[in-house]
Amino acid sequence: MYDYDLLIVGSANADLVIGVERRPAAGETVLGSDLAVHPGGKGANQAVAAARLGARTALLARVGDDDHGKLLLDSQRTAGVDTVGVLVGEVPTGVALITVDPSGDNSIVVSPGANGRLTPGDIRAAASLFHASRVVSTQLEIPLETVVEVVRSLAPGSRFVLNPSPPRALPREVLDACDPLIVNEHEAKVILGTSRVGDTPEDWARILLAKGPRSVVITLGAEGALVASADGARRIPAVRVDPVDTTGAGDAFTAALAWRLGTGESLAEAAAYAARVGAAAVTKAGAQASYPTAAEVEAL
C-alpha cells in the first residue's frame, strides 16, 4: 500500500512577471506594468496540479528561507500537497524573471537558486518518500546528477515519468527508466541529438523508443498528443477550448498523466484524461491558479 499516488521531484520558483508594450532591445530600458509574483517552477506546478485533481501528492524540492520560499510552501499546502520533502534554507529561492508583451509572447531568465542545490544526497536522504510513492515524476530544472539519483532510488514496482525540460542529452540509465518520457517536438530533437528526426511524430516516437524508454508521449499542442510503446502508437485528439493563457498547461498535462497511470489506466487513457486537464488549464490565466479540480475536468 502506497502513502502517495505521486511523488514530484523538481523545481520550485517564484515567477516575477512584468507586462510590457514591447520587449527591450539590447541596451534599452522600457517601462512595464506593476510587478506580479506567482508561485511557479515545473516541479511545484506539477505537484499543485496533481493535488487539485485529488491525487495524494508529495513534493521533494528546495526553497530558500525567504518570502518567495514561503509563497511556494503556502501554495503547495493550500492545494493539499505534502511538503515534508521540501528542504528550506542555504540559498535563496529560485526566481524566473518574465516579461510578457501584448501578444502573450514572453522572455524568461531563470536564476536556479535553491533548485540547483537539490543534490543526490538529498534524494538518498528521502528514501522513505520513494518507497511510499506509486509514481515518481521529475523534470530537468534540477541538476542532472540528481535526476540520475532519482532513478537509482525508485522503489520496486514504482513507475518513473520524466518531462525533460529544459531539454538536454540524457544518459541511457535515465532513458531506460522512463515510462513514459514526455516531450514536445523541440525536446525530442534535443534528446535525439539531431534536427532530422523524420517527418511525423510517429517517426520521432519510434526513434526515441529505440533509445531506451519503455513508452513515449509526444505533445503536439493544438494537434493533441501521440502515445507510443512496444505495442504501437496512437494519436490522442486535443480538446477544443478558447484559450486564455497557456502558461503551465504542459505541467498540468504531465501531472494528470502520471497520476492516472498510477491508478492503472493505460497510456492512451491517461493521456486522454491529461489532454482534458491541460485544456481546462488554458481557459484561465496563470499557471498554478489555473489548474482545475477533478469536477471541473468532468464538467469540461
- Asked if residue 262 belongs to a known ligand binding site, the reply is no
Distance of CA 206 to the CA centre of its chain: 23
Which of the 8 DSSP states describes residue 246?
Answer: -
- Asked if residue 219 belongs to a known ligand binding site, the reply is yes
- Asked if residue 163 belongs to a known ligand binding site, the reply is no
H helical segments located in 132-248: 144-153, 172-177, 185-192, 201-210
What residues are labeled active site? Answer: 251
Q: The cell 502573450 sits on which residue?
A: 104
- Asked if residue 93 belongs to a known ligand binding site, the reply is no
- Asked if residue 158 belongs to a known ligand binding site, the reply is no
- Asked if residue 41 belongs to a known ligand binding site, the reply is yes
Strands 232-236 and 225-229: antiparallel
- Asked if residue 101 belongs to a known ligand binding site, the reply is no
- Asked if residue 12 belongs to a known ligand binding site, the reply is no
- Asked if residue 149 belongs to a known ligand binding site, the reply is no
- Smallest CA-to-CA distance from 275 within 233, 232, 218, 194 is with 218
The cell numbers describing 74, all together, are 503556502
Question: How buried is residue 226: exposed, middle or buried, by Cβ count under 10 Å (0-12/13-18/19+)?
Answer: buried
Number of Cβ within 10 Å of residue 56's Cβ equals 20
- Asked if residue 15 belongs to a known ligand binding site, the reply is yes
For CA atoms 186, 174, 176, 181, the dihedral sign is negative
- Asked if residue 224 belongs to a known ligand binding site, the reply is yes
- Asked if residue 115 belongs to a known ligand binding site, the reply is no
Distance of CA 296 to the CA centre of its chain: 21
Residue 124 near residue 85, CB atoms below 8 Å? no
- Asked if residue 248 belongs to a known ligand binding site, the reply is no
The cell numbers describing 267, all together, are 497510456
Residues forming the annotated binding site for ATP?
A: 184, 219-224, 250-251
Residues forming the annotated binding site for substrate?
A: 13-15, 41-45, 141, 251
Residues forming the annotated binding site?
A: 13-15, 41-45, 141, 184, 219-224, 245, 247, 250-251, 281, 284, 286, 290
Residues forming the annotated binding site for K(+)?
A: 245, 247, 281, 284, 286, 290
